[in-house]
Chains A and B, each alone.
Chain A
Amino acid sequence: GAGVSQSPRYKVAKRGQDVALRCDPISGHVSLFWYQQALGQGPEFLTYFQNEAQLDKSGLPSDRFFAERPEGSVSTLKIQRTQQEDSAVYLCASSLEPKTTLHFGNGTRLTVT
């Protein structure tokens, strides 16, 4: 079946622009995560959804970051007024149930110039 799909694959934004990153998880997967991976680092947790409920947003680095999953399926990560330090790969992952194997998308590489 289809895996986790993320779009766009690459995004270049000028500093100050808003961006929206999309994640289409595997159908039926309850849990959805967003991670940020900066160059040379491991993936850092941003936020977690169980169905449509955002249960943990402790990793969002500032109030410029916002995520939603309104119908418990597709999720969007929005970054307002992008800064250079937002340049990273943004990974989305889903799992059938909490605490089980994560299935990752290919990520969106965001470059802020």
Chain B
Amino acid sequence: ILNVEQSPQSLHVQEGDSTNFTCSFPSSNFYALHWYRWETAKSPEALFVMTLNGDEKKKGRISATLNTKEGYSYLYIKGSQPEDSATYLCAFLFTGGGNKLTFGTGTQLKVEL
């Protein structure tokens, strides 16, 4: 059974704070790591797809890094805003696993004024 773990489970920050959370995954047979943002009452939205060790991706105030050798990815949000409040999901794709993504349980972020 593959385990994709995310921490923390939930996070409350103040507007303007920078924050980061972690996704841990098996380091063997790595193919890709996805990050999704899921706002309440909406559909999950793709943030990043990362495939190479050492990859860094950025989208506005959100960025992510990837370490496939040790099996972790960090998601960073700079200057959090209330609209960043959402559940952030990471998902792991491994070689030999077909096409299915294995998701973590998510980090629920609440940004307060």
Contacts and interface: CB of A to CB of B under 8 A. Distances in A.
Interface residues of B, number: 24
B49 A44 contact: no
Given A42-B106, A101-B34, A101-B49, A106 B99 contact: no
A48 B46 contact: no
A99 B99 contact: yes
Nearest to B4: A42
Q: Give the interface residue-count category, chain A.
A: 20 to 34
Interface string B13-50: 00000000000000000011010100001111110010
Interface string B97-113: 01111111110000000
B66 interface: no
B42 A48 contact: no
Contacts of B44: 43, 91, 93, 102, 104
Interface string A53-81: 00110010000000000000000000000
B98 A48 contact: yes
Given A56-B100, A59-B100, A105 B46 contact: no
B34 A102 contact: yes
Contacts of B77: none
Nearest to B90: A42
Interface of A: 3-4, 31, 33, 35, 40-45, 48, 50, 55-56, 59, 91, 93, 98-107
